[in-house]
């Protein structure tokens, strides 16, 4: 039984990945960010499991990181600050967490030896598409402090493969959605407000397109990449190879939830013009050729599952539907 470390296990994707790895027979060391309330985030929703060890701490501390990496066969490094609007307000914190946190993981794995590392990237590093579908050779464009920090983290991890032969893979999910997603994302924003009974919803620009991936497909992609040695040293997209506009997502959710809610444009939710990423459509041919990966959820099915989860009273109560979250 392999032991894996998941940083950011208390978050949206991390908690689903924790469940999938436990189901797949792995022993999981799950890192939740330290807080004085001893709250484990979404790990609280996972039943106790003899093969899951929850630890709390911070990836910005290299001594702590070395301690939790020790004894692991694989590290899934997901811990990061990811909210793009907040990166305009607090860019220093994104460098500290996203870049230095990745450095700490890579350095610990290098020093301890024989540890596989999967570093989580983001499709935002590509910026607005220069061509579609976007493959792994597409130029990187830092259109926000967030994407700049992730470009830096990716480059740092790749350097550890080139300079020290650390078995690193850059895993680059395109836009992931599903149960437990944070309130700062557009899909939970729409669903929670409709489920709360509002008549109007304030949103940002609905013209950009995204390649949407249901969270369980994203997590399967992570596991399949980790179980394939041919992925070492590569940057790999997890994508559906399909694009949809934000307006199209709004219309589909309204149809699923049988809502006639009115949509308003909120200036506060618009990115600076040169920072908006207007088109993301991912090429998934590399992950398919290396691992056989195929998405199991189309957009309609994934949104139906997501709407069902968020509409349950016990889940809806965990979200402040009327409060705009950077």
User: What is the tens place of the pLDDT at every residue in 68-106?
Assistant: 999 999 999 999 999 999 999 999 999 999 999 999 999
Residue with tokens 């997590």: 219
- Whole-number pLDDT of residue 146: 98
- Whole-number pLDDT of residue 273: 86
**CA angle centred on 226, ends 220 and 227, rounded to 5°:** 90
Which residues pair with residue 118 across a beta bridge? Answer: 76, 169
Are 111 and 51 in contact by the 8 Å Cβ rule? The answer is no
- Whole-number pLDDT of residue 326: 67
Residues of the chain with pLDDT under 70: 326
**In angstroms, rounded to a whole number, what is the distance separating the alpha carbons of residues 306 and 60?**
32
Domains and CATH numbers, the chain: 3-176+212-238 (3.40.50.720)
C-alpha 60 chain-centroid distance: 19
Are 170 and 159 in contact by the 8 Å Cβ rule? The answer is no
**In angstroms, rounded to a whole number, what is the distance separating the alpha carbons of residues 116 and 169?**
8
> Residue 221's closest CA among 13, 52, 11?
13
- Whole-number pLDDT of residue 63: 98
Are 156 and 103 in contact by the 8 Å Cβ rule? The answer is yes
- Whole-number pLDDT of residue 229: 97
Are 146 and 124 in contact by the 8 Å Cβ rule? The answer is yes
Are 237 and 123 in contact by the 8 Å Cβ rule? The answer is yes
Are 259 and 197 in contact by the 8 Å Cβ rule? The answer is no
Are 38 and 54 in contact by the 8 Å Cβ rule? The answer is no
**In angstroms, rounded to a whole number, what is the distance separating the alpha carbons of residues 215 and 221?**
10
- Whole-number pLDDT of residue 269: 82
């Amino acid at each position: 039984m392999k032991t894996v470390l998941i940083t950011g296990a208390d978050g949206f994707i991390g908690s689903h990945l924790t469940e999938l790895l436990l189901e797949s027979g792995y022993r999981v060391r799950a890192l939740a960010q330290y807080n004085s309330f001893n709250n484990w985030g979404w790990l609280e929703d996972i039943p106790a499991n003899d093969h899951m060890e929850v630890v709390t701490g911070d990836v910005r501390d290299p001594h702590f990181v070395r301690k939790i990496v020790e004894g692991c066969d694989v590290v899934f490094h997901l811990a990061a600050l990811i909210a793009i609007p907040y990166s305009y307000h607090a860019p220093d914190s994104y460098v500290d967490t996203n870049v230095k946190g990745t450095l700490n993981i890579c350095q610990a794995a290098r020093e301890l030896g024989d540890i596989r590392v999967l570093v989580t990237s983001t499709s935002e590093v590509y910026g607005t598409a220069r061509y579609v579908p976007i493959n792994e050779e597409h130029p990187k464009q830092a259109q926000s402090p967030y994407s700049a920090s992730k470009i830096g983290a990716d480059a740092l991890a790749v350097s550890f493969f080139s300079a020290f032969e650390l078995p690193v893979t850059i895993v680059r999910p395109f836009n992931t959605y599903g149960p437990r997603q944070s309130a700062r994302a557009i899909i939970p924003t729409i669903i929670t407000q409709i489920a709360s009974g509002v008549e109007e919803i304030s949103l940002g620009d609905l013209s950009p397109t995204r390649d949407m991936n249901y969270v369980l497909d994203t997590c399967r992609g992570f596991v399949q990449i980790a179980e394939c040695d041919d992925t070492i040293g590569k940057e790999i997209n997890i994508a559906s190879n399909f694009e949809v506009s934000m307006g199209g997502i709004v219309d589909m959710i309204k149809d699923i939830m049988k809502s006639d809610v009115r949509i308003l444009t909120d200036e506060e939710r618009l990115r600076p013009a040169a920072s908006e990423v207007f088109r993301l459509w991912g090429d998934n041919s590399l992950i398919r050729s290396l691992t056989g990966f195929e998405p199991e959820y189309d957009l309609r099915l994934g949104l139906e599952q997501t709407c069902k989860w968020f509409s349950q009273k016990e889940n809806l109560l965990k979200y402040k539907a009327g409060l705009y979250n950077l």
